[in-house]
Chains A and B, each alone.
Chain A
Amino acid sequence: MRLRQKSKNTFSEERVIPPRIGLLWLLGAVVLVLSPHLLRQPLWLSLFCLAVLGWRGFQLLRNWPAVNKWIRIFFTFAGFIAVLRSYGTITGRDAGLALLTVMLCLKLLEMKTQRDTMLVIFIGYFLVIGQFLYDQAIFIGLYLFLAVLVLTTALIFLNHPGSQRSHWRYNIKTAGGMLLQAMPMMVLLFILFPRIPGPLWGLPNQETMGRTGLSDEMSLGSITNLVNSEEIAFRAAFETDIPPANQLYWRGPVLWHTTGRHWRGIAETDPLTQRPPPDFTASGEASLYTVTLEPHDKRWLFALDLPASISIAARSRVDYQLLATKKVTELTRYQASSYLQYQVSSLAPDLETIALHLPLRANPRTRQLAQEWRQKGLSTNEIVTRAMAYISEGNFFYTRQPPALTGPNPVDSFLFDTKRGFCEHYAASFTTLMRAAGIPARVITGYQGGELNTQGNYLLVRQSDAHAWSEVWLDDRGWVRIDPTSLIPVENVETTIDASRFRSTLAKSLRYGDISWLTRGLSQMRQNWDAVNHAWNQWILGYGPETQDEFLTKLGLGKMNWQQIIALMFGLIILVLLPVAAYLLLRQAPATDPVNRLYQRFCQQLAKRGLPLKPGEGPVDYANRIITAQPEWASPVQQITALYTALRYAKVSHHEQFLELKNRVADFKP
């Protein structure tokens, strides 16, 4: 017998209309997630999203009708074309996220069913990840964790048809509790899940901005304003003692070729650079340190002069510049060791030619000066000393805003006329002067010094610490570093800001901040905060394929292959989920209400006398049935029932009534 009508439209959970309060929460969560994106994305997109969000909010609150289908289709195409026109592409990070934002907003416009809203939440989660591609700072992390919490709360609202506004506290608690319970498993996945070195597909060029204060080219006189960015270049934590400041020369690109004005390094395509670097003999202990390098979109890795080893895939060029195998587009951690006292054994003849080369016509006065020194019969060492004295005693000034050197002979102009400049001027000019005197020389760029963070015991090197200096080849001592900028007398440094910079480049002492207690306090706070950031960078952001390898080796898991690691990971996940499951599933049901317990005792008494409570029977019906069956129990039964219903269904509990119920039940012995 088929009595039930079969409906053709079977019910689907996905097509349920979610509760309105859930939709409002969803809008709130979307605002949180989108805000940082909208600050970055083109104006039209931000305005469109804000309009959609505003309209949807009003639509929900005022019960406006839904948007016409054709309008939605129009916006879909318009959004697509607008992204294509703004970015010239629809793939890649920027355009992809813009497109995702458009999709999210369109989905907001049309969303009606449970399926739509769930999709919006998932796109929301995805956009949180999108934001991480731009910024992974602690505050951004915390902010976006909050966004995830709100998204999850909205998800709970949406999946609870009986949702009410007043549930927000409970739902946030549930979402937070679930995220908390998810933490152990997340940590395991984070540590053990095999990290695959990216990228899987190409990263378009513009995606990581070159933020470095360094360049592998130098153009004398054209830069009249020095990079003064407080951005962090890298941090270095020393295992051995921190070397004195005048030894802290972080080696970057080495510049060999010059046109008299421009300087550049040996091209990577030149077979010269493929040559292994010449041997050097080191004296003294090696310095051991870990560098956490901010992404700069170049292959350069920085290490103290002279680097001896590095822990990640990298190679040393013939001029001891370290190059990673691919561009540093992510925070990178590596350990390196350097010898601060060293003697390079040899200079290959072809490199010597480059190190002596000067353009024939440029800078005649400089060449003439060098020739004079040579003709006086000065030895190589004497010439170097002479040149250094020329700068320290020649009324040279340090300034960040040097006069432009527009003439055909910029070094001449600098050395003999303007005498004002910063490290690049000094390094280029000094190197030119050396070459003119027949001494092989080259320009080294990199960073100098660093700020000691006493909290984390590491050096913080900023972009403003970018520096350039010279190296000269002396037959008896190999390559010798000469930092001409440090030769300028202190009184010739133009401003106080320059003075502080200059002090750092002078490398007399590490900067410990100022003497004033306020600056000291602020500097202390800044140091604490940077120490936190450093830990964050080192342990969380810098955790990649190499660090994972290193960490697993430390844990003694280095010999496991990835299948074993995955097996271990799943085993451990089950292990950490067990307590959560036990907490959720084995927890005792909350002890029944004492009032209920008393009433149950009363019912048990009656059940013994053959009058059990029937399933579904209310207390009043039950009492009436008992009184009909056993009129002599009427008085206690009525009293107990009245007390019970009063205590059970009244909002306020009265202790006196409870005590009375307790006594009556105890006295009730039918």
Chain B
Amino acid sequence: MSQIPKAKLNLSRFFTGVGPETGPILLDRRRVYILPSRSGVIFALVLFAMLLGAINYSNSLAHALTFLLASLGTVSMLHTFRNLRGLKFHPGQCHSVFAGETALFPLRIENNGDPRFAIKLAWPGQAPIIVDLAASDSRWINLPCPTSQRGRLKMQKANIYSRFPLGIFHAWGHVQFKTECIIYPRPSPERELPLQSISHSEAQGDRGRGSDDFASLRSYHAGDSLRHVHWKAFAREQGLLTKQFGGEQTDELWLNWEALAGLDVETRLSRLCRWILEADKLGLDYGLSLPDKQLPPGHGETHRHACLKALALFGNESK
């Protein structure tokens, strides 16, 4: 058992922040750091030159101005610090996107004090999002994050910084929530649905009411009325499909991993992803069959998300 108390000065916190957190983050004085900016260093050099000039010419007002500017710089440190201190950050829910798209990590900035200006949020080394906050104002910010792979995207450490008002001091803090974003696989450009795997299930046929109601799609057979061709799908180069109307039956589409045998994992997932999107667009009931997971046919936003999430996390679920 160690009796040594924790060191108060934690340098890693200074450089990297405290790691991901769940709740709201309040940038109190211990979490706002401040150092002169590069312009601040130049300012200091200019002040030194001014002082030399003032001494050389024994000029009282030159002394006074040099001292005034030095004091102004010092006071500006307090202002810059205050501009950041006391801001509160709340995590938001990240909406899933497809790999290659930009994920948005939402944050709410809450200002319980005086107006703040030019508060900048950015991933390290990236261009910031800049916000001004009125007194007692609160604002949602979406931090965009480009994605390239499917899976869980954890929120990176974001820098919150400001140089307002004079730009000669740089105050910063870190914000990192345990927020994560599900990144779906990139949908394959091939849009044709595996319509041969449509199964006709009469038992569940309770959706069609009357012969004019759209029920499902099947591939075009010679002799089908052209009025029933799904032209939009054709325009999307999905082949000729015939809309089926009425009847007491729905078609269930099984989107099967096994149907894509011979392709590599990511391509298969990409194709499945496209199938889900197409089936969803056409309003079909679709099920997803993966080696480790079966999702029974269904439709709607929640079902779509469940299927896409299964694809996104395929092979990584244990983690």
B170, closest chain A residue (CB): A13
1/0 contact string of A181-213 vs chain B (CB within 8 Å): 111111001100101111111010000000000
The minimal Cβ–Cβ distance linking B98 to chain A, given in whole angstroms, is 13
Knowing A118-B39, A200-B52, the reply to whether A186 touches B68 (Cβ < 8 A) is yes
Among candidates A130, A161, A179, residue contacting B72 with C-beta atoms closer than 8 Å? A179
- The yes or no answer to A542 lying at the interface (CB within 8 A) is yes
Contact B61 A141 (CB under 8 A): yes
Contact A129 B39 (CB under 8 A): no
Once the chains are docked, how many angstroms separate the CA of A543 from the CA of B62? 12
**B1-9, B116-124, B289-297: which one contacts chain A?**
B116-124
Contact A181 B53 (CB under 8 A): no
Knowing A3-B148, A190-B67, the reply to whether A589 touches B153 (Cβ < 8 A) is no
If A1-B151, A330-B60 are given as contacts, then 15 extra A-B residue pairs at C-beta distance below 8 Å, sorted by A number, are: A4-B123, A13-B170, A115-B39, A125-B46, A126-B49, A129-B65, A136-B60, A159-B165, A160-B118, A175-B165, A330-B57, A330-B59, A589-B114, A616-B106, A616-B108
Contact B65 A148 (CB under 8 A): yes
The minimal Cβ–Cβ distance linking A614 to chain B, given in whole angstroms, is 10
- The yes or no answer to A174 lying at the interface (CB within 8 A) is yes
Contact B38 A14 (CB under 8 A): yes
- The yes or no answer to B112 lying at the interface (CB within 8 A) is yes
1/0 contact string of B28-57 vs chain A (CB within 8 Å): 010000000111001100100110111111
A-B contact pairs, 20 of them (CB 8 A): A3-B148, A3-B151, A4-B145, A5-B148, A122-B46, A132-B62, A148-B69, A155-B165, A159-B118, A159-B163, A162-B117, A178-B79, A185-B71, A189-B67, A190-B64, A541-B61, A590-B114, A616-B90, A616-B108, A616-B140
- The yes or no answer to A10 lying at the interface (CB within 8 A) is yes
B61: chain A residues at CB < 8 Å are 132, 136, 141, 144, 540-541
1/0 contact string of A391-418 vs chain B (CB within 8 Å): 0000000000000000000000000000
Once the chains are docked, how many angstroms separate the CA of A183 from the CA of B108? 38
B46: chain A residues at CB < 8 Å are 122-123, 125-126
Once the chains are docked, how many angstroms separate the CA of A590 from the CA of B130? 24
Contact A162 B166 (CB under 8 A): no
Knowing A133-B62, A148-B68, A585-B85, the reply to whether A4 touches B167 (Cβ < 8 A) is no
Query: Which secondary structure dominates chain A's binding surface?
Result: helix
Contact A593 B136 (CB under 8 A): yes
Closest 8 CB pairs of A and B: A182-B71, A10-B125, A185-B71, A189-B67, A159-B167, A198-B58, A132-B61, A330-B58
Number of A-B contacts (CB under 8 A): 218
Contact A118 B42 (CB under 8 A): yes
A225: chain B residues at CB < 8 Å are none
**A36-44, A282-290, A576-584: which one contacts chain B?**
A576-584
A448: chain B residues at CB < 8 Å are none
The minimal Cβ–Cβ distance linking A412 to chain B, given in whole angstroms, is 48
- The yes or no answer to B146 lying at the interface (CB within 8 A) is yes
B127: chain A residues at CB < 8 Å are 11
Contact A129 B50 (CB under 8 A): yes
Interface, chain B (partner A; CB < 8 A): 24, 29, 37-39, 42-43, 46, 49-50, 52-72, 74-76, 78-79, 81-82, 85-86, 90-92, 106, 108, 112-114, 117-118, 122-123, 125-128, 130, 132, 135-136, 140, 145-149, 151-153, 156, 163-167, 170, 183
Knowing A158-B167, A159-B118, A159-B164, the reply to whether A584 touches B148 (Cβ < 8 A) is no
Knowing A3-B149, A159-B118, the reply to whether A129 touches B66 (Cβ < 8 A) is yes
B75: chain A residues at CB < 8 Å are 178, 181-182, 185, 577, 580
Once the chains are docked, how many angstroms separate the CA of A93 from the CA of B54? 12
- The yes or no answer to A485 lying at the interface (CB within 8 A) is no
**Chain A interface residue count: which class?**
35 or more
- The yes or no answer to A464 lying at the interface (CB within 8 A) is no
A587: chain B residues at CB < 8 Å are 114
Once the chains are docked, how many angstroms separate the CA of A362 from the CA of B78? 78
Contact B50 A126 (CB under 8 A): yes
A178, closest chain B residue (CB): B75
- The yes or no answer to A119 lying at the interface (CB within 8 A) is yes
The minimal Cβ–Cβ distance linking B122 to chain A, given in whole angstroms, is 7
- The yes or no answer to A266 lying at the interface (CB within 8 A) is no
Once the chains are docked, how many angstroms separate the CA of A155 from the CA of B69? 13
The minimal Cβ–Cβ distance linking A600 to chain B, given in whole angstroms, is 11
B60: chain A residues at CB < 8 Å are 136, 330-331, 540-544
A541: chain B residues at CB < 8 Å are 60-61
Once the chains are docked, how many angstroms separate the CA of A541 from the CA of B64? 10
Contact A186 B146 (CB under 8 A): no
The minimal Cβ–Cβ distance linking B176 to chain A, given in whole angstroms, is 13
B183: chain A residues at CB < 8 Å are 3
Contact A125 B145 (CB under 8 A): no
- Among A136, A156, A580, A596, the one with the most B-chain Cβ atoms within 10 Å of its Cβ is A156
